[in-house]
Chains A and B, each alone.
Chain A
Amino acid sequence: MTAIKKILQKNSFIECLCSEMKYLFRGKGLLLIVLAWFILLVLFCMAVISVPTHIGDSFTTSGWVTQILIFAGMSIGALLASRDHRSWCEETLIAIPKVYKYKIFSRMIILLIITLALVITSVLSVFFVFLFKGAPGIYYLSSAAYIVLYWTSPFIISGLLGMFLGQVIRSKFIYVLMVLTSLILGPLIPLAVGSIALSSHGPLFEYYMLFTIGQLDPNGAVYEAYGYTLNNELWLMRFLQLSSLLFLLVFTSLKHDGRRKKILRTCLWLAAISLWGISVWGTNRVSHLQLERYRYNELNEYYINNPESVEILTDKAPAKNGQDVTGLPYTIEEYRINIDDGSRIYIKTEISCIINNTDKIIFSLFHGFEVKNCSVDGVKKPYEQVGDSIVIYNEGMYSGTHSVLMEYSGLPPANLYKDEDKWILPAGFAWIPVEHIGKVMENETNINAYFSYPQNKKDVPISVRYNGNNTVYCSLNDMDENYWTGYSGGATLFCGWFDSFKYGSAEFIYPAMCPENPDHAQVFYDRIKESYPVITEELLGERRILLADKVFITASLLYLHAEGRLFIYNDHIIACLTEDYTGRVIENMSGLDTVRAIVQSPGWEAIGQDYIYLFLDGYMESMYKRGKYAYNDYVPLSRLINNAEETGNNELADICRDVQKMIDYGDSNKQISFFRDYLELLNNGTLNEREIRKLIAVYGEKEQS
């Protein structure tokens, strides 16, 4: 103890720190701060406990905690900085060598100590609640990171800002300024003006990003792949904000050093250069950190603003959107894909294809990926990327097998959680060049994105190598670390908040934040395995066994046209649940959604939803009543009848009743034939009331009618 005392007495700076600590611990203010923080933590922990499903939402909506901490930080900083002034000892201390400087530095350390106390107490409290609630493991570290980024770093930044204001402003105006500054820096601004100012995609958001220290979206949810918004840019931005304030405070601390004018000049130059650098960096780097809920518009806006981008090339192309692509002058034989990630996803795709006599090859590739280089057989070729199409010009090419290499980088759309290190690249999404179909996605509502059937028609060998540091799950076979191969129409890659487990020979990749999923996923897989051969036999005329042994479960708002949310490929399945799902949702997807996934085609787009549901609900009821599907998880046809009656659609109600009679009393084979013919009409896009009546006349129960 004596030795420690001696060391402490040797240094004026440590003395300053000790006296600051003594002051802090003897004051009543500390007790008030501790009490207020305790109440805040209890309130937050209660909010976490009360959330039924996604614990993470308590954090993403904790803008109120951040705002309180910003106020508190700024007040504490200003009080610390003005302590000497308020104690009438400022001038005395200035007149002692180096003390003014030491005082400022020791108060920065006090602020840091308070911040560390906040981090430790909040993390421990939250971990305790997580243990109590049985939260998934993925929440622990990420929530701690969230607390540091969104709670305590705003606290220390606003604290330093408060210190700066306390140093330079001695009038009561400081209180007004602190309240205004806290509001501007905090998460209330995006809440108040979010849709107006931040959805503009303009420079306003990017410059706003330079100084905001709260949540970008105080109403946002935690996303299954994306998790919390913890982008590197935000950490860097906090670091820059912290550095700038430290720089300002160091400058302030030299105020009474006598070298002020020289330092001022140098500092002004440094500040100008730094600000210029930050601005350039900021505008270049932050543009993709748009608020999640506003980014959904991007896809819609792109297609609305660039209508010609699709039309020009589809006119030139041998096939149009949704049409058969057998007319293409090339056949894809193999894919070799290399993926790197950084601020964008960098992809090199080498395609072996047999090219018939043609001087240009057109592929479909999502417009979010910018092609940087195209070569054929190692020779660079001119190319044109317009919308979702990429044309490679290759005059004088002989017919035969060629190697086409494309290098491109970009991000998937918001619906697939675009982020630098978290992404979903499903097989149905044209993240690799696929046989040309024109527009690859649609965004019919603000939120929902639809695939345009860009899956290649033919299964080919595909190999994927990933060169990043994240954990990536791939639908192909694991060959080595981050290397997969397989024989498929496309590959699905998931990278983000996912976990996996094995069930028999199947592997399930599911959102790690939802621990209830695994149990229900197994039920789902068993049911779909049971129903798949029956459905394929009855509706497609060919009994198929479900070979897909990887199941990707995602909460992406992603659909095939006409609301399909289950994708069954030959080697894997993607089940897209909705954001508000519970574990049971996936069980229920083994019925109607499975039928849709197996038989849906582009022709359905021309058919009204009522007749699609008549088919799906009717067929499920038929299966159930014929004993081919043992689970009562379908929507009974009677509900469609009730709806039709309520809306006055008597014709539909009559048709539904006839179909129900057929299901209740009709011959099984007739029922199967009815639905098979019904499906043919759906696929042709020629289904209407008259055609259905014809089918009922053929297969229905005449004696009953």
Chain B
Amino acid sequence: MKIHDVSKNYGKVRALDKVNIAFGEGVHGLLGENGAGKTTLMRIITTVIEQDSGTIEHNGVSWDNKEEIRKMIGYLPQKFSMYRQLTVRESLRHIAILKGMEKGWKLAVDNAIESVNLEEKADSRIGELSGGMVRRLGIAQAVLGNPEIIVVDEPTAGLDPEERMRFRLLLRQLGVGKTVILSTHIVDDVESVCDNLTILHKGKVVITGTPKEIKSMAGGKIWKASVSRDDCMKLAEDKLITDQKIEDGGYDVRFVSDDTPDIKAVPAEPRLEEAYMWLIKR
């Protein structure tokens, strides 16, 4: 999928500014702080809204042809649920038939339920499900019809650690032979799931690459030191502290610095989150 010079304004606010990204097979992460333009881009990719300018195409099909594009996309939006009065199975059956699965919908629904591990709740009403179960149902509906592109917007937000781990595994499985676009502001999700990553900041693409490439870009910019409480406070005024742990009355800190710091510190192996913060700060 090629996104070329896509821009979108909400009144005077520029949500996306000439975004250029190319997505291939695998899981692609869109990382950025709140308001970076991730959800806007997701909604444009899923044809929920239209871009003001720029083009998008996938395998030669332009986004102008919405009906065709929609046949290729499975979408789990940031806020998702279904009609509370319907059961899990009924909801998925509903979506399957709406997606044009006139034959074989039953098997597809069963597979989707199994893939998200919702067999026990298959005949429960949506209103009775927990938040995590609803998100899993969201994934199940997104994969129905075997779409070429799966778009998931903040899928792990609000989930407990166990559900989050389960979700990451699920997303990794989905990325085999498909294009999965994952939008999140949780760096761990990206690091554990994504093959490629695009960082968005204020509607602009900051960088695109593999998590490893992005981490390596911050090489020599991340430092670690053991400091007293007072020094830690002073350091925080000058540098971007990315991690701090209390250790023997003082602090073990990691921080971002383009130059060699004045305090006693040694270069550290950059983490993805630190690379992201360094890139954003830059």
Contact = CB atoms under 8 A, between A and B. Distances in A.
B130 to A, nearest CB: 15
Nearest to A26: B85
A26 B47 CA distance: 32
29 contacts: A9-B105, A19-B83, A19-B86, A19-B90, A22-B85, A22-B90, A26-B85, A88-B79, A88-B82, A91-B48, A91-B75, A91-B77, A92-B76, A92-B77, A92-B80, A92-B82, A94-B47, A95-B47, A95-B48, A95-B73, A96-B98, A96-B99, A97-B67, A102-B98, A256-B47, A256-B48, A257-B66, A258-B50, A258-B67
Contacts of B86: 19, 22-23, 26
Nearest to A27: B85
A257 B141 CA distance: 22
Nearest to A260: B50
Nearest to A83: B83
B123 interface: no
Nearest to A6: B102
Interface stretch (A10-18, A148-156, A610-618): A10-18
A-B pairs, top 8 by smallest CB distance, nearest first, are: A26-B85, A88-B81, A258-B66, A91-B77, A95-B75, A15-B97, A97-B70, A95-B46
B85 A23 contact: yes
Given A89-B81, A97-B99, 17 more contacts: A9-B97, A9-B105, A12-B100, A19-B86, A23-B86, A87-B83, A87-B84, A89-B83, A91-B43, A91-B48, A91-B75, A92-B76, A92-B80, A96-B70, A96-B99, A98-B67, A102-B98
B239 interface: no
A655 interface: no
Contacts of B141: 92
Contacts of B65: 258
Task: Identify which of B48, B64, B76 gathers the most chain A CB atoms within 10 Å of its CB.
Answer: B48
Nearest to A96: B98
Contacts of A256: 47-48, 66
A22 B84 CA distance: 11
B100 A97 contact: yes
Task: Identify which of A9, A12, A87, A97 gathers the most chain B CB atoms within 10 Å of its CB.
Answer: A97
Interface residues on B, range: 20 to 34
A344 to B, nearest CB: 53
Contacts of B71: 97
Interface in A1-41: 9-10, 12, 15-16, 19, 22-23, 26-27
A16 B76 CA distance: 20
A97 B65 CA distance: 11
Given A92-B141, A258-B50, A12 B97 contact: yes
Interface string A72-101: 000000000001000111011111111100
B248 to A, nearest CB: 49
Interface of A: 9-10, 12, 15-16, 19, 22-23, 26-27, 83, 87-89, 91-99, 102, 256-258
Interface of B: 43, 46-48, 50, 64-67, 70-71, 73, 75-77, 79-86, 90, 94-95, 97-100, 102, 105, 138, 141
Contacts of A88: 77, 79-82
Contacts of A91: 43, 46, 48, 75, 77, 80
A4 to B, nearest CB: 15
A195 B2 CA distance: 67
A642 B224 CA distance: 119
Contacts of B66: 97, 256-258
A262 B57 CA distance: 22
A89 B95 CA distance: 11
A245 B85 CA distance: 29
B94 A15 contact: yes
Contact of A89 (B82, B85, B90, B102): B82
Nearest to A93: B98
B91 to A, nearest CB: 9
A99 B98 contact: yes
Nearest to B78: A91
A23 B85 CA distance: 6
B94 A92 contact: no
A645 B160 CA distance: 99
Given A15-B98, A91-B46, A92-B77, A258 B83 contact: no
A290 B75 CA distance: 57
A355 to B, nearest CB: 80
Contact of A87 (B81, B90, B95): B81
Contacts of A96: 70, 95, 98-99
Nearest to B45: A95
Contacts of A258: 47, 50, 64-67
Task: Identify which of A83, A96, A256 gathers the most chain B CB atoms within 10 Å of its CB.
Answer: A96
A429 B8 CA distance: 74
Nearest to B39: A91
A96 B85 CA distance: 21
A585 B78 CA distance: 76
B269 to A, nearest CB: 40
A19 B85 CA distance: 10
Nearest to A94: B48
A91 B80 CA distance: 8
A80 to B, nearest CB: 12
B77 A10 contact: no
Contacts of B46: 91, 94-95
Contact of B94 (A19, A27, A97, A257): A19
Nearest to A261: B50
A387 B100 CA distance: 72
Contacts of A89: 80-83
B96 to A, nearest CB: 9
Contacts of A19: 83, 86, 90, 94
A384 to B, nearest CB: 67
